[in-house]
A = this chain, B = another copy of it.
Amino acid sequence: MAAALPNDRLGFLLSFRGELTGARIRAALGVAGLHPRSVMTLMQLASGATSQRDLAAAMEIDPSQLVAILNELEGQGLAERRRDPADRRRHIVEITETGAAALERVDTAVNAAERELFGGLTDAEQALLRSLLDRVVVDPTGHDCGAE
């Protein structure tokens, strides 16, 4: 018997809709002329200044990848690196006022994107969708399923 078609499967549906939603969100993140990864970094920095090591850990990326992102952000005046006087190996990374302003423009664009994506759902339905999604993939531990 034929295997179930992708479009009939809830897992595929969630994966594909998530991909479309991600693409729409990423397009909104680009309003400030920034890469999505740069915006995600600014969002992290908005919570407070940190070292590059901690920042990379929070974003779950390798510290070496963060270098290029921060170079770009610093070149655009959206973030700043300065040496930690207490440990001169460390960089303290901070968002600038310009960076915070860019983040606000991005925020407005993301709000618009979400209205567009979820505008067909009532507030109650959006809350329901959120609660259902929160109960998916509840236990990612156990199998790393080496998709290598």
Which residues of chain A have a CB within 8 Å of any CB of chain B? 1-7, 9-28, 30, 40, 43, 46-47, 103-104, 106-107, 110-111, 113-114, 116-118, 120-121, 125-126, 128-130, 132-140, 143, 145-148
User: What's the number of copies of this chain in the assembled complex?
Assistant: 2
B residues less than 8 Å from A24 (CB atoms)? 11, 137, 140, 143, 145
Known pairs A103-B3, A104-B3, A147-B27; A21 contacts B137 (CB<8 A): yes
> CB-CB < 8 A to A19: which residues of B?
15, 18-19, 22, 147
Closest to A19 in B: B18
- Cα A107 to Cα B140 with chains together (Å): 21
A25 and B43 form a contact (CB under 8 A) = no
